[in-house]
Amino acid sequence: MNGRRPISTVLLGAALFLVTACGGGGGSGDDKGNSGQAAEANKESQAVVAVAPKDGADGVATSGALKVTADKGKLTEVKVADTKGNEVQGAITGGRSWTPARHLAASTEYKVHAVAKDKEGRESAKDSTFTTLTPKNTFIGTFTPEDGSKVGVGMPFSIRFSRGITHPEDVEKAISVKAEPSVPVEGHWFGNDRIDFRPEKYWATGTKITVKMDLDGVEGRPGVYGKQVKTVKFTVGRSQVSTVDAKTHMMTVKRDGKTVKKIPITTGKPGYETWNGTMVISERLRVTRMNGETVGYGGEYDIKDVPHAQRLTDSGTFIHGNYWGGGTFGNVNSSHGCIGLRDVRGGYDKKVPAAWFFDHSMTGDVVVVKNTHDKTVDAGNGLSGWNMSWADWKK
């Protein structure tokens, strides 16, 4: 042996050195680059989402309290819903804030989920829960016509509230009235406890109207909240407009624009004249009692069995059967302000004019009175809003 290492051993050592040198150097450089990129990718979003009211809040106001905002970023998603999954509609403004489009319901728990992104596209989220107040005082609305009704072309949708309303805009905003075929429908307030909705002209025959009353949580007056959520649907039947002429003592009944009958009538005598103007049948009674005491006429009359009575005003104007009038129909005005049609006591005869008119009428039919010596009926007396111009109605 000459003491020299074999060539193979030397080459193997050199190869190991090269592998170690290349592997070690390259590995060290790549670790530093990946570490920096990972740190940048895991950097926390600068966007900050805030929700008012605070998480867990109770007794929250139904209007004006809920707001979602973003700082150092823009909102990309806001979802607010109650525990039943009913979502609250709202809008993001300028990417910075979200507010609900309408009031919230009372005594209800809501969950908020909101997401915002900073300028680098990193997301930040916020989840919150709160519960709205439970009112101590509430109001409801009594309405006409009823759900599922078929009505005449003059029928408005009328709501009377159990409490006087001092925030009418908020209440009106919570009521939607839509017609099919579509036509503009506007509301008009009579005093502070009633609102009627109607189009500019009579409804078209066959129109379908849908009313949504979302009054739950609406503050109608300080500390008094609505508690109704209801949908009402009704349909307009054929068109019937009857014109009463106090001068000729005749009533002309038109169905869909064509005259179908002329009926001799009697209206109010001197001192008790019938209102002029457009009125709408709001109530129908096959028999009713009429007592002068109830309308300020003392004991002048008390008839316990007035047949075929249909109400035209809240103040007591009816178009009704009259079995005591003798030969007044078509000849002379002799009533205390109502419109009388010939009838028989008990209303059993279906052929008399009063029975025919009753059987061919419906709630919402129009009765127009002209040529009396009294003024035009007030628009708020019964469903008489058609006596107002469209411009005045919308004020």
Catalytic residue among 103, 188, 308, 338: 338
Strand partners, 79: 113
338 among known catalytic residues: yes
DSSP assignments along 140-209, one per residue? -EEEESPTT-EE-TT--EEEEESS--S-HHHHHHTEEEEEES----EEEESTTSEEEEE-SSPPPTT-EE
Strand (E) or helix (H) holding 241: strand 240-245
> Which amino acid, one-letter code, is at 288?
T
Contacts of 229 (CB under 8 A, 6+ apart): 105, 213, 214, 215, 216
The DSSP 8-state label assigned to residue 96 in this structure reads T
Compute how many other C-beta atoms are within 10 angstroms of the C-beta atom of residue 349. 16
Residue 371 and residue 359 in contact, taking contact as beta carbons nearer than 8 Å? no
The candidate with the shortest Cα–Cα distance to 268, out of 243, 281, 249, 285, is 249
DSSP tag of 291: E
Is 287 in contact with 347 (CB distance < 8 Å)?
Answer: yes
Task: Tell me the C-alpha to C-alpha distance, in Å, between residue 187 and each of 170, 176, 236, 321.
Answer: 13, 10, 18, 34
In the sheet that 339-342 helps form, which strands lie side by side, from edge to edge? 283-291, 302-311, 318-322, 339-342
- The single residue of 103, 249, 320, 336 carrying the catalytic annotation is 320
3-state helix, strand, coil in the chain (%, to 5): 15, 40, 45
- Judging by DSSP bridges, how do beta strands 150-151 and 229-236 pair with one another? parallel
* Residue 373 bears catalytic tag: no
What is the amino acid identity at position 138? T
Active site residue ranges? 320, 338
